[in-house]
Chains A and B, each alone.
Chain A
């Protein structure tokens, strides 16, 4: 078995609200192996971005990490480090390609100034070299490096900004990059080129990555392992091939069925109805049961925990042996 680059352990994140604390992430366990890409999928609002930000102990207000450990190989638990050590750890070791990368640059500074600021923040002795490197990466991303660095954010198109975001994520040569829907804002041609770049970086520099997306086709293409999230919990995790060919959790199955496929049983192509619940305070039972075709009394009583069904394949469901055909009548 290869080495684990980061292990998320029993992570709980809550956002305070008027009705009480909203659990956006509940007892999440994740492992990312060195050099691998972990796909993180799930409906909008299920907590993917929150997990990514929590991995850097940077959950936005009014959120906070209630408990958990973020263990990085060679560094230990991030949450146990001093503020300053955490600050330097961020971006040098783990960077993020932001979901909202359209607006993640300070509108008042040229890109070059922002790179120099980054150099100062991370005590890089030769800022000029860093700027040169930024220009190089831009060229690799098929951006005009000189023009990019001279520009203010508002002078760039959405796709350009997205790629500038990728450039910044690569700039300090981190070991891990968290890609939060890096291709959503792009047209299919740019999507393709961004994916190519990610694969290239992945292959050449041995970077590990977490890849968050709604596009299951892309996950199938880039991820080695996939984790499915539902209402703040991981409900299934498996190697990509296994998950796509033999999903076990009813939610994963529904998610995969929502994907238009050329092959496969057309009867199985049923999307999901309803919406995930908002989790305020303690809850009992399986959170998916309201939308589940296999729901039984047991699902109301207790919450299923992740259990191994196979090597590397774990599922949180009491009804993993139900067959589609039998239940759908």
Chain B
């Protein structure tokens, strides 16, 4: 492909990124939360070596917080903190990978449908409609129970195949409206091919939207993943918050004692905290990409 001549187009503005993030304490908080999770995912097994940290200890069942176990212990006497930290890697990896494929699939389908138009558009959009109409979670359940696998990659595949519809639809409508704009006309005037315009002119202009969707898709994928494991549809898969929840609700007996509070709440709060971090940062992303918001500054 040849390089794109300098077509006039609105640029994504990157300067002042730091200022935008640090202008609101809540964004700094959001960013720190996300960093914390990434650290947990990367360093979890270093901090809590599984062979040591996950060993059952019948003497310590359902203990409250202590210095050694800041979040107490579970029904086997294992440190809840260790379980949460060790669970982060699997959850985040599946969430991020699924979000990645959701975005790739959604953008690709939307871009092609919006740009090629005609029969291709009609067919792609009918399929998209179908995927939107089918309730995502039950479909996930159905597919998961048929595949009956605990491979994280299958999980990623299922999650992404069931949730790209809405993004594809809105990417398509954005392409349709961007197509009419001057800078796309200008690119066409310069004789750029359709593929070039789609990927080098239009896609960069939707970067903000895609980035925000990626973040939101991460939380969505994590919810679905944890939910599946929680329902016990996919085979047992250790070291995951969903499995913690499932045991908390089921076999562990945690629901028969009030001593299990930290054990029950820890995976829930781990998810909620991650969600909050992502939401807080989304506000900043919104502002980075939509300079209109930058002056008003009243939004979070």
Contacts and interface: CB of A to CB of B under 8 A. Distances in A.
A3 interface: no
B126 to A, nearest CB: 33
A278 to B, nearest CB: 15
Interface string A10-35: 00000000100000000000000000
A18 to B, nearest CB: 5
Q: Interface size bucket, B side?
A: under 10
Interface of B is mostly: helix
A68 to B, nearest CB: 29
Interface string B282-300: 0000000000000111000
Contacts of A18: 295-297
Nearest to A18: B295
A18 B297 CA distance: 9
Nearest to B298: A18
Q: Interface size bucket, A side?
A: under 10
A18 B296 CA distance: 7
Contacts of B295: 18
Nearest to B296: A18
A18 B292 CA distance: 13
Nearest to A19: B295
Contacts of B297: 18
A177 to B, nearest CB: 37
A18 B295 CA distance: 7
A113 to B, nearest CB: 36
A66 B295 CA distance: 25
A18 B293 CA distance: 12
A121 B297 CA distance: 38
A62 to B, nearest CB: 11
Nearest to B297: A18
A192 B295 CA distance: 46
Interface in B245-300: 295-297
A7 to B, nearest CB: 38
B290 to A, nearest CB: 16
B238 to A, nearest CB: 54
A325 B296 CA distance: 49
A34 B297 CA distance: 48
A78 B297 CA distance: 36
A207 B95 CA distance: 71
A20 to B, nearest CB: 13
A104 to B, nearest CB: 27
Interface in A212-248: none
A15 to B, nearest CB: 15
A38 B295 CA distance: 40
B184 to A, nearest CB: 32
B244 to A, nearest CB: 48
Contacts of B296: 18
A142 B281 CA distance: 59
Interface string A297-325: 00000000000000000000000000000
A315 to B, nearest CB: 39
B87 to A, nearest CB: 45
A178 B295 CA distance: 36
B11 to A, nearest CB: 23
A126 to B, nearest CB: 47
A282 B297 CA distance: 25
B145 to A, nearest CB: 48
A287 B4 CA distance: 49
Interface in A109-156: none
A61 to B, nearest CB: 13
A215 B296 CA distance: 36
A200 to B, nearest CB: 48
A148 to B, nearest CB: 38
B20 to A, nearest CB: 16
Query: When A and B form their complex, which 3 residue pairs have the shortest distance between CB atoms, in order from nearest?
Result: A18-B295, A18-B296, A18-B297
3 contacts: A18-B295, A18-B296, A18-B297
